[in-house]
Chains A and B, each alone.
Chain A
């Protein structure tokens, strides 16, 4: 506890009882803490602690989304380096490494496209937080609130997915710990769980974040469509795909709003991913307009990843009935 001068004085009555053994992030000590009448000072108002705690949680959620993106970046860099060096068979274009094989190239290209999309979504969320803080504008606050669960869930899903691709690209060597590809996969796995599981992020999106009747969501979808229209002359095929996907997302959002809450929850995760793909595609399109050298990556995002939005949206509309039709006994097999 701090003494009168603010320096650590007498030891407070709390201690670490044990450390957990974990799948990953071994360098980060995960403690069981015992408080035995430890002295605490009240922060904020009595009985409003949960609200204050969520101040910590909300921006930490964006931070965890960024963690996922960073892990994906590291895993992908490692996978690309391996794929350049590793020679197996003769590749179609005569490139010596396995990166010359179309299937390996597909994995790496899709991974790079999603890293960019997730990174841009996190940045868009952070800019909304900054604008809300700087201006107090309710529209920016609503934008930041809407994007936070998407940035967290999509960023960390991308971390896991790309780390998984990283292991796959390494082949058998990826399963060997010495290579280091496996560590990224093990480390990434916690990020979809802590700071609110990704399921909870999706429930937050279809629940509290649509409680405005969808106003913030529709405004963002409108901006994606405006961006697509702006790209029509330069990148007509890509622009059309993004515009059409944004329209589907608008309809899916209307359908979501028409459902009872537990029915929304049953489709929340696919809805969030559909939202992330459409938004990420819109941001890729913007990047391609600003720099033609980025159009090839935008094409991978829009032609190879964005099409999933249709299936995801279909999965978001069916309600919860079919899930509860399966008893725990049937699920146990």
Chain B
């Protein structure tokens, strides 16, 4: 039995159960016409069925591994991720100003559902990148947005979320990682983060951890900084995706 993404169920729910028409009637989401919804669901389902679902067993049987400091992803995951990125799926709900499609979360949520059924391990990579895109759209300076958002949305770079530390799990306020001002507007970040999903890999050219770190001399609970760390991953990326490597 091969997996078939439930595009028709999503369409029914949007049309008849949760009144998606009111979203499409707003100025902001005027592009989310019935034709667009149909095209998005159909194309996403095709990607899930034909590209992602066939990778699911291999990912389980051949886990990602660390080789000389390099994370090697499971067989076919690099090509699968590139197909997700090239389809524009990472930026489905991201701002058009930086290359996103600007479509509603309702569509992105349906796509997340369909992709997760196909291959959860691979779907986590775009999900985390989407979280970082959203945080930058809301909180970053214009310079940071201009630098990072286009590459995150295109899938050239990817985002990771760095919160958990050994002593700070559910209680993220207990974190100890320090961010010391360097005097030039940047911070020197020191500490250990654990359970970092897709923290690195041989698929994308650059992995950007967003994480919370306390200021060096002020460790008040729930008062951390949100910092973005430009992590450079050396030329191994070229082997995976020649066309997109930039380093």
Contact = CB atoms under 8 A, between A and B. Distances in A.
B199 to A, nearest CB: 3
B9 to A, nearest CB: 7
Interface in A69-125: 69-74, 77-78, 80-82, 116, 119-120, 122-125
Interface in A236-278: none
A124 B215 CA distance: 39
A35 interface: yes
A186 B233 CA distance: 31
Contact of B170 (A124, A133, A187, A196): A196
Contacts of A321: none
Interface centre among B55, B195, B222, B225 (most CB of A within 10 A): B225
A326 interface: no
A56 B132 contact: yes
B19 to A, nearest CB: 7
A123 B205 contact: no
A184 to B, nearest CB: 9
Contacts of A42: 185-187, 225-227
A47 B194 contact: no
Interface in B1-56: 1, 3-6, 9-10, 12-14, 16-20, 22-23, 26-29, 53, 55-56
Contacts of B163: 53
B68 to A, nearest CB: 11
Contacts of A11: 231-234
A320 interface: no
Given A38-B229, A290-B17, A16 B200 contact: yes
Contacts of A44: 138-140, 226
A52 B229 contact: no
A130 B191 CA distance: 37
A165 B138 CA distance: 41
Interface centre among A31, A39, A68 (most CB of B within 10 A): A31
Contacts of A35: 177, 189-193, 229
Contact of B161 (A60, A70, A286): A60
Interface in B108-151: 108-110, 112-125, 127-128, 130-132, 134-136, 138-141, 144, 147, 151
A27 B109 contact: no
Contacts of A325: none
Nearest to A182: B60
Nearest to A283: B17
A183 interface: yes
Contacts of A194: 195, 197
Nearest to B71: A29
Main SS at interface, chain B: mixed
B40 to A, nearest CB: 13
A61 to B, nearest CB: 10
A319 interface: no
Contacts of B130: 59-60, 63
Contacts of A183: 56-57, 60
B4 to A, nearest CB: 7
A73 B114 CA distance: 8
Given A33-B209, A50-B222, A50-B224, A120 B17 contact: yes
A25 interface: yes
A8 interface: yes
Nearest to A28: B121
Interface string B186-226: 11111111111111110001100110110100101011111
Given A27-B63, A44-B139, A56-B132, A291 B121 contact: no
B93 to A, nearest CB: 9
A183 B56 CA distance: 9
A52 B139 contact: yes
Nearest to B164: A194
B196 A47 contact: no
Interface in B144-183: 144, 147, 151, 161-163, 170, 172-173, 177, 179, 182
A122 B228 CA distance: 30
A168 interface: no
Interface of A: 1-2, 6-12, 14-20, 24-44, 46-50, 52-53, 55-57, 59-60, 62-64, 66-74, 77-78, 80-82, 116, 119-120, 122-127, 129-131, 133-135, 180, 183, 186-187, 194, 196-197, 200, 283, 286-287, 290-291
Given A39-B187, A130-B104, 13 more contacts: A11-B231, A25-B121, A26-B121, A28-B64, A30-B195, A35-B229, A37-B190, A39-B188, A41-B228, A41-B230, A130-B29, A134-B28, A183-B57
A-B complex: 6 closest residue pairs judged by Cβ atoms: A27-B59, A27-B121, A31-B199, A70-B116, A81-B1, A40-B227
Interface of B: 1, 3-6, 9-10, 12-14, 16-20, 22-23, 26-29, 53, 55-66, 69, 71, 73-74, 77, 104-106, 108-110, 112-125, 127-128, 130-132, 134-136, 138-141, 144, 147, 151, 161-163, 170, 172-173, 177, 179, 182, 185-201, 205-206, 209-210, 212-213, 215, 218, 220, 222-234, 246-247
7 contacts: A19-B71, A27-B60, A31-B197, A33-B162, A33-B192, A67-B120, A73-B113
